[in-house]
Amino acid sequence: MKKNIKYILFILIFISGDIFIGYVLSVLSKKQKYDNRIELILENKIEADVVIIGSSEALNDYSPEEIKLNTGLSCYNLGQSGSNPIFHETILDLVLKSAHKPKLVIYNVDDYAALYTKSGIVFRKDVLYPYVDNPFICKKINSELGKNELATNISYTYRQNVNFINALKYLLFGKEKPDARTTNINSFGATLVDKKGGDEHTVFEMNNINLSVLRMNLDYRNSILNIQKKCSENNIQLLFCLPPQFRKSTKGFKNRIQSVIDSTYQLIDYSNSLTEAAYFSDQEHLNKDGATYFSKLISADIKKIKI
Amino acid sequence: MFFVPVYILILAFTIIVDYLAGILIEAAPQNKKGIYLQLSLVANIGVLCVFKYYNFFTENIEALFQSLNIHTYKFPFLSILLPIGLSFHTFQAMSYTLEIYKGKQKAERHFGIYALYVMFFPQLVAGPIERPQHLLSQFYINQKFEWSNIVKGLRLILMGLFKKIVIADQINVLVSFVFDNPENSKGPSVYLALLFFVWQVYCDFSGYSDIARGSAKLLGIDLMVNFDLPFFAKSFNSFWSKWHVSLMNWFRDYLLFPLIRKRWKWQLVFLFVFLISGFWHGANWTFIAWGVYNGIIVIYTKATSDYRKELINKTWLKNYSSIRHIIQAICIYHLFAFGGFFFRSKNIHDSYILFLNMFTDVGDSLSKIWHNPNNMRQNLLYLGTDFTTFTVLILFVAAFFYFEWKLRNTTLDEYLERVPQVMRFGIYFFAAFSIMLMSNIVETPFVYFQF
């Protein structure tokens, strides 16, 4: 009897410890993150008519504030640096699960990284880690990391273990310091970069990517098709944009991406619409002035869409 | 890793061959025993050669002829996968026929029991390479449920998982950062990666051995200790009697002793045994070089043992055995670590580049680590991770090292039985939660599965 009580006590302490550690990790990791846009989606706090999704170009190149001023439509930027189309689809899924569905989704297309594997462009699971309590996100993380579903459901610590290092970082250094290019999110979700001008000597460097030798990433392609399907099913307008570039576009890429986009959706090519170095922070990203200017341009096209 | 069911036929082949060979060797007159033994060894080594070494041999023969400008027959390339654990269960099967030949083991008549000896799941893929005397007899014991076996087994599994998940898998990130980029890795980064590599390979392999022993213990079966705290050894020779014990014993009994009995020069015997041991690890020149490197060090330490003892006796160190032991442990650790240049590199060229790079830009790298321009400390010191991740890892390694130190004169079970209950459960909690916290963050297959 005494032995049994000992074992029951051991199990109870273990379960309590598991819940406690998991809870602490969850709370601290959320506090550590500067960029809390995923939390805002999950808490239904994003009530925007227009939502922008994509990678760093989406994050840096679009000023939702400017779009709102010019179109009268509320706008929010959900771009995430270094993210791939599979991640963009996940973001759209989260938006569609929230209480407020947008009227228009602007999908910023990365030159060749939208359909081809490119180093540094990944499924940003680290962005989702603090919100692993959400069943949809938990499932995504499990499949990305090969985590055991049953163990994730049983142990709170195991489910939250992806947040261990970030929780420690919060304890050691406090809240994450925003990065000027990737996480310095303003109240409209965008990160507008102050840096002006690119290196004059590298600006019009030839883009030597030869698409014919690259194999199309079918998962990326499927995600772009899924994004269209999901927008269609939810009666959401979808606009594909190739943003301004301070370099030459990849030869043939526009045709490739066009072939993946349904004819009912529009792909607008802005890649040559801005040419002054003063509008760019580097070859691929606009700075604040560039984003403001470009947002005016895109606002004019948004106005033409029946929303 | 792939699941190819047809590969079970390889196991079936060696099991049938060695089962029959065992019976035939036992039944044969003395002058005929050798023939059956040789047939069994040829079958086993043949399987190893086809699946593990064929492409290596043919590629090198072709390269040799090409370098001599001789046009030769183009050997076909075998696109086959290396069956997991092939080297382990083949060596275990060979030890069975060898022991029968030596008259130290009776041939097993029960086919199922013999098949179990070769395929016993906990040690099938990465050892320990058991002897028939130790393992076969245990399969005849009528096992009964014993709580103590469960406790001992779970303790070993917990220890093994801690080593593998909390230390080896996490260290792999740091080590790979350097070894996957040999051209860009310089000075202290290479040195650090080598030091970490030792922990990775030790915790990875000894972790597996612990899990194997623990799993077997749950079933009431005792498997041999494969790693006997090798880094607390007092000489490089003694290190090799504590590292991968089951394999080194195999080489000692079936290769080293017979060659010494044949009056080979001991230096040549050691060099040969370590060369073969390196080649056992993989069909790559890096493993051969690793074997030769260790062989040379062993020969050197053995040859100079008396001289070094005399030298120590002339210094103040002779009165401080603890300090002497620490210095010995540091030397052994470094000697083994430098073997990592070969063991962990993809090819000899990478080993060479890394070796040179370890002495390149040392001052500059140290200065960058100190001043941290453009956050360069992250690459040079934290080896691609960040301060927090690196520190957590160091703390885990330190905790583990401290625990191993505590175990140096005892066993895991004895230690855990001796400490107060609160501390015992504290250790269980710490290990279990560390495993839960670190699992699946980074996942790496067991290093020794490839062998």
Whether A182 has its CB under 8 Å from any CB of chain B: the answer is no
Interface test with A, best of B170, B433, B434 (most A CBs within 10 A): B433
> Which of B200, B22, B197 is closest to B107 using CA atoms?
B22
The sign one gets for the Cα dihedral B49, B55, B56, B61 is positive
Q: How far is CA B369 from CA B14, B188, B256, B362, B375, in A?
A: 54, 9, 47, 10, 9
**B86-96: per-residue pLDDT in tens?**
888 899 999 99
- pLDDT above 60: residue B103: yes
Higher pLDDT pick, A88 / A194? A88
Q: How far is CA B306 from CA B239, B240, B241, in A?
A: 18, 19, 19
Q: What is the pLDDT of residue B325?
A: 87
Residues of chain A with C-beta less than 8 angstroms from the C-beta of B429: 13-14, 17
Confidence of residue A203 (pLDDT cuts 50, 70, 90): low
Q: What is the pLDDT of residue B443?
A: 53
- Secondary structure class of B228 (helix, strand, coil): coil
- Non-local (6+) Cβ contacts of A206 within 8 A are A247, A248
> Which of B203, B216, B233 is closest to B335 using CA atoms?
B233
Residues of chain B with C-beta less than 8 angstroms from the C-beta of A157: 433, 436-437
**Whole domain around residue A92: which residue ranges?**
2-304
- Indicate the length of chain A as a whole number: 307
**Contact indicator for A65, A169 with CB cutoff of 8 Å:** no
- pLDDT above 60: residue A199: no
The percent of residues above 70 in pLDDT, for chain B, comes to 96
Tokens of B437: 């916290």
| N- to C-terminal Cα separation, chain B | 13
The percent of residues above 70 in pLDDT, for chain A, comes to 96
Higher pLDDT pick, A201 / A130? A130
Min Cα separation A163/chain B (Å) = 9
Residues of chain B with C-beta less than 8 angstroms from the C-beta of A21: 433, 437
- pLDDT above 80: residue B387: yes
Confidence of residue A275 (pLDDT cuts 50, 70, 90): confident
- Non-local (6+) Cβ contacts of B315 within 8 A are none
**Contact indicator for A52, A25 with CB cutoff of 8 Å:** no
Whether A144 has its CB under 8 Å from any CB of chain B: the answer is no
Q: What is the pLDDT of residue A201?
A: 43
φ, ψ (nearest 5 deg) of residue B252: -60, -50
φ, ψ (nearest 5 deg) of residue B125: -90, -25
φ, ψ (nearest 5 deg) of residue A17: -60, -40
Number of helices followed by number of strands (H, E) in chain B: 23, 0
Q: What is the pLDDT of residue A131?
A: 95
Average pLDDT estimate for B82-89? 80
Tokens of A23: 């809870």
Q: Which residue of A has its CA nearest to B429?
A: A14
Q: What is the pLDDT of residue B65?
A: 82
For A207-254, the DSSP string reads ----GGGSPB-HHHHHHHHHHHHHHHHTT-EEEEEE---SSPPPTTHH
The sign one gets for the Cα dihedral B306, B312, B313, B318 is negative
Q: Which residues 108-127 of chain B have a CB within 8 Å of chain A?
A: none
In angstroms, rounded to a whole number, what is the distance separating the alpha carbons of residues A102 and A95?
A: 8
**Contact indicator for A250, A112 with CB cutoff of 8 Å:** yes
Average pLDDT estimate for B166-175? 94
> Considering CB atoms only, which of A148, A157, A162 is closest to B441?
A162
- pLDDT above 60: residue B242: yes
For B60-102, the DSSP string reads HHHHHHHHTT-----PPP---PPPTTHHHHHHHHHHHHHHHHT
Looking up tokens 């160190």, which residue turns up?
A: B317
**A158-173: per-residue pLDDT in tens?**
999 999 999 999 999 9
Are the beta carbons of A164 and B437 separated by less than 8 Å? yes
Q: What is the pLDDT of residue B320?
A: 86
Is the interface score ipTM higher than 0.85?
Answer: no
- pLDDT above 80: residue B79: no
Average pLDDT, chain B: 89
Whether A169 has its CB under 8 Å from any CB of chain B: the answer is yes
Interface test with A, best of B424, B437, B442 (most A CBs within 10 A): B437
Amino acid at site B261: R
Strands, E assignment, B260-345: none
Min Cα separation B207/chain A (Å) = 20
In angstroms, rounded to a whole number, what is the distance separating the alpha carbons of residues A247 and A204?
A: 5
What is the CATH classification number for the domain harbouring A247? 3.40.50.1110
Number of helices followed by number of strands (H, E) in chain A: 13, 5
- Secondary structure class of A267 (helix, strand, coil): strand
Q: Which residues 10-29 of chain A have a CB within 8 Å of chain B?
A: 10, 13-14, 17-18, 21
Min Cα separation B396/chain A (Å) = 13
- pLDDT above 90: residue A270: yes
- pLDDT above 80: residue B1: no
**Contact indicator for B122, B215 with CB cutoff of 8 Å:** yes
Min Cα separation A173/chain B (Å) = 10
Are the beta carbons of A165 and B392 separated by less than 8 Å? yes
Q: Which residues 395-434 of chain B have a CB within 8 Å of chain A?
A: 425, 429, 432-433
Q: What is the pLDDT of residue A198?
A: 54
Whether B319 has its CB under 8 Å from any CB of chain A: the answer is no
- Non-local (6+) Cβ contacts of B93 within 8 A are B14, B15, B18, B44, B118
Whether B436 has its CB under 8 Å from any CB of chain A: the answer is yes
**B301-317: per-residue pLDDT in tens?**
999 988 888 888 888 88
Interface test with B, best of A119, A156, A157, A161 (most B CBs within 10 A): A161
- pLDDT above 70: residue A197: no
Min Cα separation B432/chain A (Å) = 10
In angstroms, rounded to a whole number, what is the distance separating the alpha carbons of residues B404 and B408?
A: 6
- pLDDT above 80: residue B141: yes
Residues of chain A with C-beta less than 8 angstroms from the C-beta of B438: 161, 164
Min Cα separation A150/chain B (Å) = 13
Whether B439 has its CB under 8 Å from any CB of chain A: the answer is yes
- pLDDT above 90: residue B440: no
Looking up tokens 């006590």, which residue turns up?
A: A9
**A70-84: per-residue pLDDT in tens?**
999 999 999 999 999
Are the beta carbons of B436 and A18 separated by less than 8 Å? yes
Average pLDDT estimate for B389-400? 94
Q: What share of chain B is helix, strand, coil (3-state, %, to 5)?
A: 75, 0, 25
Q: Which residue of A has its CA nearest to B392?
A: A165
- pLDDT above 80: residue B80: no
Average pLDDT estimate for B201-215? 95
CB under 8 A, 24+ apart: contacts of B189-193: B189/B365, B189/B379, B189/B380, B189/B381, B189/B383, B190/B354, B190/B357, B190/B358, B191/B358, B192/B381, B192/B383, B193/B340, B193/B383
For chain A, the domain total comes to 1
In angstroms, rounded to a whole number, what is the distance separating the alpha carbons of residues B169 and B203?
A: 9
> Which of B385, B350, B409 is closest to B229 using CA atoms?
B409
